[in-house]
Structure 1
């Protein structure tokens, strides 16, 4: 770490980056929401972010979102039946997560919060492993290096520092800006609008900007930090904060999977090319509760929820697919059947998850066991043994 920091962009370089990559409309205060598919399912075009999507891609986005929603609804039901201790819902945020998740390349690395079930699905993480975490039988039973998807982070905002540090690492390893699409690496830090108020997130912005780190800060602005509305957290749109740190920010319709994919793909490529960090604000809405311990009816209006139902990310893709003859009833029935099978697998698999050995919580805490940890482990073992044979 004694090596000098890599050469970052000069003050003059940030201007062209904003114009060339994110367009004059973003850098000069024009329209501030990138959208490619309206809530009515109409395809629209954007001057800076416009891609041609194949029918296969569009059907794939639809399938991904339907299955991700089923994971979420099934997990919520399992918690209500006492099979999970808690669950962080993503209802309504499927497009933001699938759009971002499918824009990733194999070598890219993701640092999630505790709600990125759709991104985990895109990275190949078995949903049962997520249920194990929320059931309390493990601390997250997947290998981060196998999927390039870190374990869920419960400490609000801490993952942004982790992501920035990792991004600085791949930068120093020479895996950025080589021109090799199979080598150049980007890092994504997921967080919510509530986390944007945390010191860790803002410190990550400073380090990322100072070292020109290849990281995309992807904020799912679902407009509620538990019970606090976004209006109490920021007097300006969140994406505009990025300019104060010296890198571009952009707001995308987080209920539009096409726009989210296009914007994230551009931001990731910018990072891989060595042009530094980007802030992406996916403007969406949390249709469910913050977690299954929350009652959102106590702090928000039902009218707001009903109006956002009209912007459902899955419905707008289905309308577009039907209108353009890209799917038929048989295709949609097959997806529904696949979702039902997934739900059954999750229900049965969750109930069959083995309980952990109590003493296992002391394993893998440190690379080398400390005296203090050893004493705690032995004390716990003695306490646990005192119950053997009792009724």
Structure 2
């Protein structure tokens, strides 16, 4: 008779990895607790405060007693505002009933995959990718099919590569534009070319992660798949939220729209998982979506200036090379020229993970290794920091690179 190990974990969970970003953040916290000075370029969140009118809406909700459970899929008023947002900003015709509000964008993604994947189903994920995509797929019983998209492709998926990756088991394609970690942005024409491939494969659903929608630079326009190709609307989940655009990461509000059958399934799952999102946060998100939007333009201007400064300074560091990202607030810099070098502390750099570990230990700068995002040797730098800190970090990175020996 076999005795079950009481500590045995779900096999899908055992195969999943902790978030690389949070592992680095934990190391930063430990070093700071020990008294070390560290400039962190690893957290993917704006450094601005949530706009005043949004914060006041949260306070007003508390004072008004809006502190009870809400509907599982969110307050009707917020879902109507979400539908209006998709129509106003993305040209989509959305019924509020075909929307869902969740505890952050990550839950929207998790619920969609958990509601639709059966064991062995495949999800196409272009690399570099947000670190959580493959592990969410794994936790939901699916299999990630990674498609490498290097610098020569602008870190973007081509129609030919998409076609080659699709099999009879393909269930989803995940697209993230602007991209975390590269800042790559798909144009209307590029999305249209991908759509032509998808139209020939009706079993494939599309998850469009648009969370960085409002952080596009140089006057470029944003496009999303369901807008570019309406014929894919009945199998596209368009996901967004208030975290990046309105500096509301801690409020934990994400939302999405898609075909009714999928939204219904996601709501059913959420009802047995967390129920509705925080009522206070929902009222704050309602104020964000229906109130003044000048904050978005101001923050975009600041981030574009920071991007220009960071990319210029990274390209001045020996052994580093960084293309100019089109959006988000990340620089994805090649550190290939550092591999094989020896640090002043005597460490030989064999990988991009070695590079970020040495940067933290020897230069006091925290970044995340690109191989965690599916492509090395790169490092991801989040430039969501004040100008002074960014210049200090850039100077430290440059000095670190200059001090390396063969």
How high is the TM-score relative to the length of structure 1? Answer: 0.31
Give the helix-richer structure, 1 or 2.
1
